[in-house]
Structure 1
């Protein structure tokens, strides 16, 4: 740390003339020490990186090693606005990968997303085309779910307005119930034989009964899935 003050004297070995007085005086050494700190790496022990460049500083940032940083994020899923995964990441496409080549990732997720061949491989999460839902963890909104479990689509019970299609103008058949000739009832419900065809009146008529029936109401389908507005990104997991 920079010093506040001190005694300034000529450095040892300074040449001088015989009997020449070399003056000494108090001074503020802050500027000199600050310049020295800026031109030299700050040790890790006091919160620095101990390095002059970013590349050399990475292994000891904040006292953490690259291995510690990788271990911290192994198993994390990030979304990228790019076509290919960054180095050290794998696309979440459900494929089987080597347990020995990805030991850190395997130690984090195990066989939760699939056991692979059961011996040498394990499966990555398959998030392609899926929406993410936070694990319920006892809240009760989405109970009985485990991390990594898949859930199909569903609609909340609700109502739709509907109307039957118009049948257009049409007629219904009638049934003659009584034939009266000159005011005399000739036959009821049915007619047989020969009757003079004058002054005949239909005493009553009703439309034919077709019995209980239904009409079809069609609600048009507007899509093939349920979804909100969305943007597609590349889901990758840190190895």
Structure 2
């Protein structure tokens, strides 16, 4: 294999080169100022800063400042600038996806560089159908109704009490205060 640095005559040699992050020409992406990497250790490695939104010196971190400037925050506007605050965040690519479409037919589009987006759930609706043969509260033709024996009166002032939906074969959904995919925690760091 040509172009790789070091001995790659054996599988272990190739694995060592890949583990070191080196590719053709000796480029090491972990040395590119402004690169953001996830780490799975408690201590931030030398040469990196934790992506926690901290304001840092424009002089001490001049190479990083030259790479990202005030993209993630201007700090005190003269001697400091901010690193990204990625704690508790999922990263998403910027720009529009060329082939993937949202439910409304438009292309998936990520936020602009350094723009934060709030969580959201795609708009949807639920239809309820139940015929009341006797008086009482219930749902009829997607309207919440209240009535007495022999009558049915539309009254949308009564709340519909429902418990968590169980999809039987799929189990009971996990409910909480946010929508999120299955995940695990890492620390995001930026190279300076």
Q: Which gives a bigger RCO, structure 1 or 2 (Cα 8 Å, sep 6+)?
A: 2
Q: 1:142 aligns with which of 109, 119, 136?
A: 109
> For the Cα contact (< 8 Å) 2:96–2:108, is it kept in 1?
no
Normalised by the size of structure 2, how large is the TM-score? Answer: 0.60
**Superposition pairs of residues 19-168 of structure 1, within 5 angstroms:** 73-137=32-96, 139=98, 140-142=107-109, 145-160=111-126, 162=128, 167=136
Aligned residue for 1:87, secondary structure, equals coil
Contact 1:90 1:238 in 2 (8 A): yes
- Could you tell me which of 216, 223, 226 is aligned with 2:159? 216
- Tell me the TM-score normalised to structure 1 length: 0.49
Query: Per the alignment, do residues 151 and 220 of structure 1 end up closer, same or farther by CA in structure 2, a change over 3 Å counting?
Result: farther
For the aligned residue pairs, the C-alpha RMSD in angstroms reads 3.6
Deviations 1:13-49 (A, max 9, x none): xxxxxxxxxxxxxxxxxxxxxxxxxxxxxxxxxx999
Q: What's the CA shift for 1:71? A: 9.6
The higher radius of gyration belongs to 1
| Distance in 1 of aligned mates of 2:42 and 2:30 | 25
Give the secondary-structure state (helix, strand or coil) at the position aligned to 1:108: helix
- In the alignment of these two chains, the number of paired residues is 140
Aligned counterparts of 2:67 and 2:58: Cα–Cα separation in 1: 11
Unpaired runs of at least 5, structure 2: 7-23, 99-106, 138-146, 165-174
Which whole-Å CA distance do the structure 1 matches of 2:67 and 2:30 have between them? 9
Indicate yes or no: 2:175 matched with 1:233: no
